[in-house]
Structure 1
Amino acid sequence: MNSSSLDAQQQLLHALYESHAADLERFVTRLTGDHKQAEDIIQEALFRAWQRPEVLARPEAAVRAWLFTVARNLVVDHWRSARNRHEIGTDQPPEESQTDATDRVLDSWLISEALSVLSAEHRQILLHGYYRSLSVREISAELGIPEGTVKSRMHYALRAMKLALQERGVTQ
């Protein structure tokens, strides 16, 4: 498209805006109840008219009918969109969700109960290894027992703990 026909098309579009924008705005605002959305829809309708020069070449009444039809379809499309159905605008952000500590409390109660049925040696090894996160060498030094004994007790303590938890209904 050359420069002169583009200028002519823009002048025609400007005249179209001047002729129909006010009526379109009242029409779309009545459909949407939102002045800002109405402006956006009018702009989109006029943009679509600008993209289709054959529409601008029609008689004035046909162009007006086309613009109102496009505007109405844009409103309908907006109402049908997933964004409109699933998003709710608000001035206040939602409250931060609070996690329910019930599961954590019940789990700790269950583990505490299972630990209570273990032998003192096994309970001591598990508490040092898992709750205090000590290494085998550190546990060995603190309890004054060989590292091999720490490993052996840890192995049997975990087996006993697994059995104690299974007896309380905990499955893997």
Structure 2
Amino acid sequence: MLVRRPRTSSSLTEEDVRAAYAAHGAELYRFALRGLGDGGLAQDAVQETFLRAWRARERYDPAVAALRTWLFGIARNVVIDLHRVRQARPWLRDLADHEGLEGAAPATDGWDALLHTWLVEEALGRLGEAHRQALTETHLAGRPYGEVAAELGIPESTLRSRVFYGLKALRVAMEEMGVER
């Protein structure tokens, strides 16, 4: 049975959001620009990121994730949403000047992968040692179950159980951090 932690009563104030924009707005813009390849859409993505952050300010819990991590998680979802809109409505691309945008597909320079790595690392830190070790060795290191179980001195079935429940706990931790599938 999964137990969710109660939310804290503190939420972000308008001042907090303004300070977050001053501290992280430029980084979020560069992230969105790399993902979308369009400066105007990147500006829209940053604006939508802070709008969603403001609307969800009661759900922000500094004990679950750092503000920067939470904002980048929101920004990632916004960039994905905007990219999907562009795919679903190709006629919108005809309204823009494409001379400077030739071949401007979403960048594959690793920023999204880096953000994903940070988010997974943050979520793994919230797991118990046994589950974290089982997931790290089997999924991240790609080692066979039998080899890892022998090294840990436990039955393979126990390791498989730890991986199963570790993945469930990891999914819950990432949902609490605001990461969508």
TM-score normalised by the shorter chain: which range applies?
A: 0.3 to 0.5
TM-score of the superposition, structure 2-length normalised? 0.41
TM-score of the superposition, structure 1-length normalised? 0.42
By relative contact order (CA 8 Å, sep 6+), the higher-ranking structure is: 2
Which is greater in Rg? Answer: 1
More helix by percentage: 1
